[in-house]
Amino acid sequence: MIKFNEIQKRKIDVLINDEKICELNLSFNSVTNKFDEIIKFIVDCSEKIGPEFDTWFKSYICEYKESNYNHQIIINHIPNIKKYVNQYLTCVNINYSEFSDEKKRSKTSIYFTADEIEKLTKVSCYLKIFAIIYHDKNMKLLPNFYKEVYNILIKDIATDEILFKVFNLVNSKINKYKVTDSYMWEYIRMRYCKTVDIHTIHIFNWIIHNILIICDAKQNPISFISSVINNSIKWILHNVYKDSIIYSEAITTEDANIIPGKDKLETFAYNDTIAKFLVIAYNSLEQEKISEEDFKQAINDKKQMPTSAKYITFPILCKALNIPYKHLITIPSEHAYLLNILLYNSLSKEFKQTYPILTNLLMKYNTNKEIKKTTYTLIDIDSFIDTFSEFLSTNDSIYAYEFYSSIVGKMIRNTYSHFKNGSVNDPLPKLEKDIVTFYNNYFSGKLNGEIEFISKKLNEQL
């Protein structure tokens, strides 16, 4: 019989038939905060499967320790992890069809079949057994070894698009809150430079790496995950409200919703820097043989931020000028067009040759409003795969693919007119290839040299 005796907070002795096999010194994280769920599962496996499980569990821990924490030992034990999880779930005899109601299925719903729920439950149980090792400070794997083991354990749900359904569940719930709390989501985007898409990715990662593992093996995991998603979204919005609203106890002439003084000072500094470069940008008009009158006439009724500035100019300038994206995105659209032209004149010849269609967009203005949503998906998969290496400090290409698809979809659904000759859109395949290659190189750091070149050239003009 396996027992867990807590010596002190986060220090637990693991015993089999009163023989101590190891002492867990748990890391401090959200999983270990709910470590009782993992302990309860291991003890239940011991009770229901019996001595066979106890003997294997002892060898699983001891062999790993004796190998000087070689992750290959864990990989060798994965078939047995799956074997005993299957035995346990057979013993408890869960009817997964009770968790999957066909009557609630519709064309727009995110429906999990009984088989998919069973697979999620099994993966959750696999991760529980792995957690005994991974969440101990001494036995913990290095990040690259952890990822290798983790990917093998979740393979059953990763290959059947179950993960994609979980991602869509997160996305759909965030979109519901986006309707009811649209102002706060916009405030988050402006103040913290985090879009709804980024929050969707963060919550999805949180669910897969921290929540799936603590799901009760005998309960519906989808219900639990769904409740956690709702609470996560509320937590994000609650903290933004709490951090941004100042409640005055006395009569004051200042706006009660105003941001504190430090942010004001930063804003003045950034606006001053932007203003200096706008003066240089006006001079660039003459250099490009665009009269000030023609420029103003072209963008006279263009109040919306140009897509080329949002997705090309601002990402580059926020690094080149060390100005946060959240400040750049608040400037008037007229100034954004000027910064487009300024950037065009600051790019190297090599950059213009590598991204010709992307570069040409900087010299054009939107003729339509940007669409809010798009169902577009990337067509040139080869360009995406060949240039992808990293996205937001991860190497998971799924999120990058969704993010790039959204950007490309919004850009190609617009039409553009050149400030000089009035020419319209460039060929779609070439535009998509330029955008995908640009972002892959941007996030992987391959454009750092170009950004340094731009920064130096701009600062020389001050």
Enter the DSSP assignment of 258: P
The pLDDT of residue 160: 67
Q: Are 207 and 166 in contact (CB under 8 A)?
A: yes
Distance separating alpha carbons of residues 196 and 173, to the nearest angstrom: 11
Distance CA(29)–CA(206), nearest Å, equals 12
Structure token pair of residue 337: 């067009």
Please state the pTM of the whole predicted model. Answer: 0.52
Band the pLDDT of 193: cuts 50, 70, 90. low
pLDDT in tens, 63-99: 999 998 899 999 999 999 999 999 999 998 888 888 8
Over range 420-427, report the average pLDDT: 62
**Among the listed residues 419, 445, 410, 402, the one whose alpha carbon sits nearest the alpha carbon of residue 365:** 419
Q: In angstroms, rounded to a whole number, what is the distance separating the alpha carbons of residues 311 and 250?
A: 44
- How many Å apart are CA 50 and CA 291, to the nearest integer? 85
For residue 424, how many C-alpha atoms fall within 13 Å in the half-sphere facing its CB? 7
Q: Which three-class secondary structure string do you get for 185-210?
A: HHHHHHHHCCCHHHHHHHHHHHHHHH
Q: Which residues contact 31 (CB under 8 A, 6 or more apart)?
A: 38, 131, 135, 210, 213, 214
Mean pLDDT, residues 140-160 taken together: 86
Q: Pull the structure tokens for residue 93.
A: 């005899």
d(CA 448, CA 59) in angstroms, rounded, equals: 49
Q: Record the tokens describing residue 41, joined without a space.
A: 């599962």
Q: In what order do the strands lie in the sheet with 19-25?
A: 2-8, 11-16, 19-25
What are the distances in angstroms from CA 365 to CA 3, 127, 460?
69, 51, 27
| Confidence grade of residue 56 (pLDDT, cut at 50, 70, 90) | very high
Asked whether 287 and 338 are in contact (CB, 8 A), the reply is no
Tokens of 393: 């400090």
pLDDT greater at residue 85 or residue 186: 85
> What is the pLDDT, as a whole number, of residue 350?
93
Q: Which two tokens stand for residue 1?
A: 């019989």
Query: In angstroms, what CA-CA distances link 361 with 204, 213, 296?
Result: 34, 46, 18
Q: What is the pLDDT of residue 250?
A: 28
Share of the chain above pLDDT 70, in %: 84
The C-alpha atoms of residue 42 and residue 85 are separated, in whole angstroms, by 10
Chain length of the chain: 462
Give strand pairing partners of 3.
15
How much is the mean pLDDT over the chain?
A: 81
Contact 121, 215 (CB under 8 A): yes
**What amino acid occupies position 459?**
N
Q: What is d(CA 308, CA 407) in angstroms, rounded to the nearest whole number?
A: 10
Residue burial 220-249, b: 16+ Cβ < 10 Å; e: rest: bbbebbbebbeebbeebbeebeeebeeeee
Pairwise CA distance, residues 281 & 71, whole Å: 56
∠ CA 292-295-299, rounded to 5°: 140
Give whole-number Cα distances, 255 to 103, 242, 459, in Å. 51, 16, 36
DSSP per-residue string spanning 95-107: -GGGG--GGG--S
Residue spans of the domains in the chain: they are 2-100+109-241, 261-460
Question: What's the pLDDT band for 260 if we cut at 50, 70, 90?
Answer: very low
